[in-house]
Chains A and B, each alone.
Chain A
């Protein structure tokens, strides 16, 4: 009979352990669920905050306001034509020959700007300094 008794106790212990494990798992899930709810509320609050802040950012970056701030605090001006050009418009150094470069880039009607060997309008690149358009 004692063998039978031992098995019973063993099973009882297993049942008890399983019960405790289930309870513990459920408790942990509830805890994590609480945490999830808290995080979700935080996300909502943060999103609301972000919505307000990005609207404010858009308001503060109104072009007219930026323009005024630029005039007050910066020495920057809009880019002018004299500051724009492509690589082939840069003059060669005195030693180099122009003919080889020109031969490799024959004038094509589809890309007229690229074939030009001087700046549009005849501006001299050497005279163009940063901020020269001011």
Chain B
């Protein structure tokens, strides 16, 4: 560009002469060539930059104006899980049953404490419930670390902090609370909060889930029904000075356990009162010879296998002698009994003959299908193993027909009875809530017809047979009594009974199966010297149903209406038919 500069600075240039910006353009030749190249390059770079700015501009408009509301700048604040975190346990309605709360604990490092006696004296002035000698002993022990007190209130923490004792510190610790205490302890169980470990019940059975889950665990329990069940069983235990009792309310169509009681019970908030007896879950871990309630299965088996029909019957005139046993009837009629009569009068002789007719193989197969011969798989770890003879002789077939020589848990009973009455489909028992209106698949174990026949028979027991006290007018209760003599050493103890009742309601379309077992009830004057299932357990079932029906939304019906009469009609033996017509 020298020529241009040269021209521009020429002091002798004409006044109006303005040099071209780049001086005179060379017309031809290599100079013009290189100038053109430079211009092109400059233009290209300029266009590129302009494009880049346009892109950035568009992006800016896009982010701020168009997408501005979509972009989330903040994010939900989540606290990190601590090692002691443990999920809540709630019932089917969301009622809190177990929760871990955090509190400050008072701890000390004895080696850092100068004067143990002085420190103990000071601590006791602000924490009067501490024992001074104990604290002093702990502080002067050579241990590296001692715990002085759990669950300090903020006030106490402030007061201790003000003392300024060296070596005394605070530590955040979790503790598990069970707001419903004893009421739900049989299912919920308890956990050791110091190492976040479930030790019994759901706390143990679902330990891993509780430790890792952020959501609460929803149980199938209903606290309201749990209270009704517990209270009524407690009342019977008190009335008959019994050892204990167990009860279960199950949803007949899903297998959900909505209430489960085992009494006496323990308080998971204060395990100092726990002992072997009240920690033992009688409803799931305890297995018992159930007695006559087993006739439900014997009769269902015989009807389902077409071994006999509702019109059939057996001779119950004479007791059966087999080996060293004699099988006789408690409510003996000394005559031929029809199948419905055998069921409602709970004839051992009739049931035994029915089972022999069906055969041992069929019996074992049928009980196995109902899940009575194997441990049920549920979420609770306290599950009893059923007891039954490995060698299934004729005598076993006979005694098992009326519920002796085989021991099962109440949990297995309600599961099996549910299958018998709900149309014949077995559902695995569960302690976890199913979604609303969810119907688990289940396994068909007997025909629809057999199930319907069994419902009629169960209704008859309450209307005319041994279970009259279970009646709850309007709610169409069906059921079966059972009174078993408890095994005492080698033989059966006449005076030690397990009195049970299995109830189903409403029998026309079963929704709930309720079992109540009272352990070793003692007859009293009010029960006219009786301590059988019909006197001890059946009244409790009646009261439970009357109290729970409004809660679960079951409407009372007119039991005498022709439609219901027709639906529950059973064709009896002619002799009894006349008797019923006269009633």
Taking Cβ atoms with an 8 Å cutoff, the residues of A that contact B are 36, 40, 43-44, 48, 51-52, 54-59, 61-64, 67, 78-81, 84-86, 107-109, 112-113, 115-116, 118-122
Residue-wise interface mask of B (536-571) relative to A, using a CB-CB cutoff of 8 A (1 in contact, 0 not):
000000000011011000011111111110110000
Known A-B contacts: A54-B96, A63-B223. Give 15 more (CB < 8 A).
A55-B96, A55-B177, A58-B95, A59-B179, A62-B181, A67-B227, A78-B547, A79-B550, A81-B549, A107-B563, A113-B555, A113-B557, A120-B474, A121-B473, A122-B560
B508 CB, nearest partner CB in chain A, Å = 7
Beyond A58-B96, A84-B550, whether A113 also contacts B556 by CB under 8 A is yes
* Contact of B183 with A by CB under 8 A: yes
Which of A40, A78, A85, A112 is the one whose CB lies under 8 Å from B561? A112
Q: B89-118 toward A: CB 8 Å interface, digit per residue (1/0)?
A: 000000111010110000000000000000
Q: How many Å from the CB of A105 to the closest CB on chain B?
A: 13
Q: How far is the CA of A115 from the CA of B566 in the complex (A)?
A: 15
Complex formed: what's the CA distance from A80 to B555 in Å? 11
Known A55-B99, A81-B546, A112-B558: A64·B183 in contact at CB below 8 Å: yes
Closest chain A residue to B269, Cβ basis: A59
The 8 Å CB contact of A120, one of B96, B177, B179, B559, is B559
Name the distance in Å between A7's Cβ and chain B's nearest Cβ: 19
| B177 close to A43 (CB less than 8 A) | no
Contact across chains for A121 and B563 when beta carbons are under 8 A apart: no
* Closest Cβ–Cβ distance, residue B393 to chain A (whole Å): 46
- B579 neighbours in A (Cβ, 8 Å): none
For this complex, 21 residue pairs linking A to B, each with C-beta atoms less than 8 Å apart, are A36-B74, A54-B96, A55-B177, A58-B96, A58-B180, A59-B179, A62-B181, A63-B183, A63-B223, A63-B226, A63-B227, A80-B546, A81-B473, A81-B474, A81-B546, A107-B563, A113-B556, A115-B561, A116-B558, A116-B561, A122-B558
| Residues in B whose Cβ lies below 8 Å from that of A55 | 96, 99, 101, 177, 179
- Minimum CB–CB distance from A119 to chain B (whole Å) comes to 8
| Least CB distance, A19 to chain B, in whole angstroms | 19
B554 to chain A, nearest CB (A): 9
Q: CB of B224 within 8 A of chain A?
A: yes
Would you give the shortest CB distance from B33 to chain A, in whole angstroms? 32
Asked if B559 and A40 make an inter-chain contact with CB atoms under 8 angstroms apart, the answer reads: no
Smallest distance from the beta carbon of A123 to chain B beta carbons, Å? 9
Q: Are A107 and B557 in contact (CB under 8 A)?
A: no
Given A55-B179, A81-B556, A120 and B508 touching (CB < 8 A)? no
Known: A44-B79, A59-B179, A64-B227. A120 touches B558 (CB 8 A): yes
Residues of B in contact, count (CB < 8 Å): 39
Inside 8 A of A116's CB, which chain B residues have their CB? 557-558, 561
Q: Which residue of B lies closest to A48 (CB)?
A: B102
The complex places the Cα of A85 from the Cα of B180 at a distance, in Å, of: 33
Q: Knowing A109-B566, A120-B474 touch, does A62 contact B558 (C-beta < 8 A)?
A: no
Chain A positions within 8 Å of B547 at CB level: 78
A43 to B78 alpha-carbon distance, docked (Å): 10
CA distance A86 to B546 in the complex (A): 18
A116 closest partner in B (C-beta): B558
Judging by beta carbons under 8 Å apart, are B563 and A109 in contact? yes
Q: Does B77 contact A (CB under 8 A)?
A: yes
Nearest CB in chain A: distance from B566 CB, A: 7
Alpha-carbon distance A78/B547, docked complex (angstroms): 7
Residues in A whose Cβ lies below 8 Å from that of B97: 58
Alpha-carbon separation in the docked complex, A118 to B547 (Å): 22
B177, closest chain A residue (CB): A55
Residues of B within 8 A of A122 (CB): 558, 560
Q: Are B473 and A107 in contact (CB under 8 A)?
A: no
CB distance from B541 to the nearest CB of A (A): 16
Least Cβ–Cβ distance between B511 and chain A, in angstroms: 14
Contact A86 B96 (CB under 8 A): no
How far apart sit A119 and B546, CA to CA, in the bound complex (Å)? 16
Residues of A within 8 A of B224 (CB): 63
Indicate which residue in A61, A85, A86, A107 contacts B562 across the interface (CB closer than 8 Å).
A107
- The docked-state distance in angstroms from the alpha carbon of A80 to that of B516 is 22
Query: Are B101 and A121 within 8 A (Cβ)?
Result: no
Among B549, B556, B557, the most chain A Cβ lie within 10 Å of the Cβ of B556
Q: How far is the CB of B556 from chain A (nearest CB, A)?
A: 5
Docked pose: A48 CA to B179 CA in angstroms? 16
Q: Closest Cβ of chain A: how far from B222's Cβ, in Å?
A: 11
When distances are taken between beta carbons in the complex, the residues of chain A under 8 Å from B558 are: 112-113, 116, 118-122
Which chain B residue lies CB-closest to A118?
A: B558
Closest A-B pairs by Cβ, 3 of them: A58-B179, A63-B227, A113-B557
Query: Within 8 Å CB of A86, what residues of B?
Result: 555
Nearest chain A residue, comparing its CB with the CB of B564 = A112
A36 to B108 alpha-carbon distance, docked (Å) = 36
Provide the bound-state CA to CA distance between A81 and B77, in Å: 51
Residues of B within 8 A of A52 (CB): 101
A116: shortest Cβ distance to chain B, in Å? 4
State the Cβ distance, A62 to closest chain B Cβ, in Å: 6
In the assembled complex, the Cα of A107 lies from the Cα of B564 at a distance in Å of 11
Q: A44-B79, A81-B473, A81-B546 are in contact. Are A112 and B508 (CB under 8 A)?
A: yes
CB B127 to nearest CB in A, in angstroms, measures: 21
Q: Which of A57, A112, A119 contacts B563 (CB 8 A)?
A: A112
A67: chain B residues within 8 A (beta carbon)? 227
Contact status A109-B567, CB under 8 Å: yes
Q: Give A81 to B555 CA distance when docked, in angstroms.
A: 8
Q: Shortest beta-carbon distance, A106 to chain B, in Å?
A: 11
Instruction: Please determine whether A62 and B474 come into contact, CB atoms closer than 8 angstroms.
Output: no
With the chains together, A116 CA to B128 CA distance in Å?
68
List residues of chain B with CB within 8 A of the CB of A109.
563, 566-567
* Neighbouring B residues of A61 by C-beta, 8 Å: 95
Q: How far is the CA of A54 from the CA of B98 in the complex (A)?
A: 11
Which residues does chain B contribute within 8 Å of A58, judged by CB atoms? Answer: 95-97, 179-180
| B-chain residues with CB within 8 Å of residue A59 when the two chains form the complex | 177, 179-180
Measured between alpha carbons, how far is A85 from B556 in the docked complex, in Å? Answer: 7
Interface centre among A108, A112, A122 (most CB of B within 10 A): A112
Chain B residues closer than 8 Å to A81, beta-carbon distance: 473-475, 546, 549, 556
